[in-house]
Amino acid sequence: MAIAVSQGFACRTQLSFNLPFINRVHKSVSFNNDHNSYQTSSARNVKGGNDDCNPHEWKKLCSKELGIRTSRITKPAKTVLNVLRKKGYDVYLVGGCVRDLVLKRTPKDFDILTTAELKEVMRAFPRCEIVGRRFPICHVHVDDAIVEVSSFSTTGRKFGRKSKSPMRKPSGCDECDFIRWQNCMQRDFTINGLMFDPFARIVYDYIGGMEDIQKAKVRCITPANTSFVEDCARILRGVRIAARLGFQFSRETSHFLKELSNSLLRLDKGRIHMEMNYMLAYGSAEASLRLLWKFGLLEILLPIQASYLVSHGFRRRDKRSNMLLSLFASLDKLLAPDRPCHSCLWVSLLAFHEALVEQPRDALVIGAFSIAVHSGGSLSDAVDIAREISQPHDTSFHEISEPIYSYSKDELMAEVIRLGASVKDALRRLTDENFVSQALIQYPQAPQSDMGHKWSNVPSVRRCSKTVKPPSIQSVFISWALSLKVSSIFECIRKGRNRRFVPKRGSEIDYDSLALGRLDEVRDIFGRVVFDTVYPTKLAEQ
């Protein structure tokens, strides 16, 4: 299946293109040399047969013309690609990493597809394991990174199980194109269906992915209702992709996002936690929350936060007036797809905000609290620093109360300790099934979903009875173990009344420690996020 002689990664393009992106795409090399035809509807409608498949719509594009630079591929991924290639196997980068390389974005990770069998991949690397039962893949350990490698043979069996009839090779294409096309047809969205050979420097587009990248659209490869029924986690994946890229959904995809939102209740806790972490821990949390709200998914995943938005009359275009979204906007400024945080950080922000919703606090108390957590719990020093704050705080948040009187040092320390205890109480509520269920009963009018209406027709629910609870998966993915880790973040407040101020060494963020959830790094970022939200720099400059 080799397309071109391998030149390895030693050959790097130094060319730079100043043409608009859409013009560069139109300079692509077509399978049939037809630059004007880019219709993809028939390719998207293929379901187990070849009658509607038109290989003349398939495209191959020069990666240099697209501005893809192999220097942006991580060292672990290059190692795996080169080892497999030297052993005579064809290798491709597939999925979202190709999309991100085309868009000049940093990929979250690099997925590799190869003609080698998984057992052959195992023999090629000393630290490698096969994971997954139904659809196994290889986890190749390179240094401290894990590179996922799948095989054409395994994905072909996966495709065969889903198809009602075997897919036959269309006339006018060779065996290599057919096998690649089959693999692309298994994927979720067209913009994730690109395949990149980094040695031949060719990007294969069999399903209109480049067209949808140009249009900034998230579109299912197969009909959206079929795609989301086959794997309802694609609903969350689509939201995450759209939020991160700032893309819009196609009309059909958007419709079935809302229509099939209830199917998320079937997902297990591990999958929910993974998808929510991808949304909130990689630099696009605010946009993700806005889209979850828009499509009526927030009330299913985070009912307490959905209730909060409803009670404050939130509108999707609201900007700085909402503290919950402002906290996550501040977090997003510090994170990126290749620099994520541990899930305990964003859960701690949810608990902190819920504590303020339950009882608004003086900005000075919040400031001292954020400084104390940031420093590891030195209350005396944190209060001294907070009392010197001269810049104005944001007055648009309902969660910040007006100062009643001037606190003494001891009184301010006591208030900070009370806030720490309140955050821990809020964390317990976030993992309490009864409390979460009541949150949606109280505010059944959350937008874009029939969940509230459906529950309001249950008599025991209308009476706020505890006998019949509406379904909720909030308490599922915020596990008990995770809540204990989050609680430990704030333990320093209770123990820090007489502790000396011990700042973190250096101001640089240790992203490896942050991703692992090491407390000193998590506390540092938590303190930054809260302080910058309550005392934004823009207000200080004004």
Q: Is-contact 215 25, C-beta < 8 A?
A: no
| Of 425, 429, 420, 401, the residue nearest 523 (C-alpha) | 420
Distance CA 243, CA 266 (A): 23
Whether 432 is catalytic is no
Angle, CA 413 vertex, CA 409 and CA 414 arms, to 5° = 115
Is 410 part of the annotated catalytic residue set? no
Q: Which of 90, 100, 177, 188 is catalytic?
A: 188
Count CB atoms within 10 A of the CB of residue 268: 12
8 Å CB contact between 246 and 105:
no
Contacts of 114 (CB under 8 A, 6+ apart): 84, 89, 90, 91, 92, 121, 149, 150, 151, 152
Task: Determine how many CB atoms are found less than 10 A away from the CB of residue 223.
Answer: 15
User: Could you give the angle at the alpha carbon of 156 between the alpha carbons of 155 and 157, nearest 5°?
Assistant: 90
For the purposes of burial, counting CB atoms within 10 Å of the CB of 150, is it exposed (0-12), middle (13-18) or buried (19 or more)?
Answer: buried
Rounded distance between C-alpha atoms, residue 56 and residue 46, angstroms: 15
CB 423 within 8 A of CB 352: yes
Q: Do 182 and 159 contact (CB within 8 A), yes or no?
A: yes
The alpha carbon torsion through 518, 145, 78, 237 (nearest 10 deg) reads -80
Beta strands in 160-283 (DSSP E): 195-197, 202-205, 217-218, 248-249
For residue 279, CA distances in Å to 234, 284, 332, 420 come to: 13, 6, 11, 26
Radius of gyration of the chain from its Cα atoms, rounded to whole angstroms:
26
Q: Among residues 90, 100, 111, 212, which one is catalytic?
A: 111
Q: Edge-to-edge, what's the strand order for the sheet holding 137-142?
A: 29-30, 59-62, 202-205, 195-197, 91-94, 111-114, 145-151, 137-142, 128-131
3-class SS of residue 343: helix
360 to 296, 367, 423, 521: CA distances (angstroms): 27, 13, 12, 27
Kindly report the CA angle at 148 between 131 and 123, in degrees rounded to 5? Answer: 70
- Quote the CA–CA distance of 266 and 263 in Å, as a whole number: 6
* Residue 425 among the catalytic residues: no
Q: What's the CA gap between 437 and 451, in Å, rounded?
A: 12
- What residues are labeled active site? 109, 111, 188
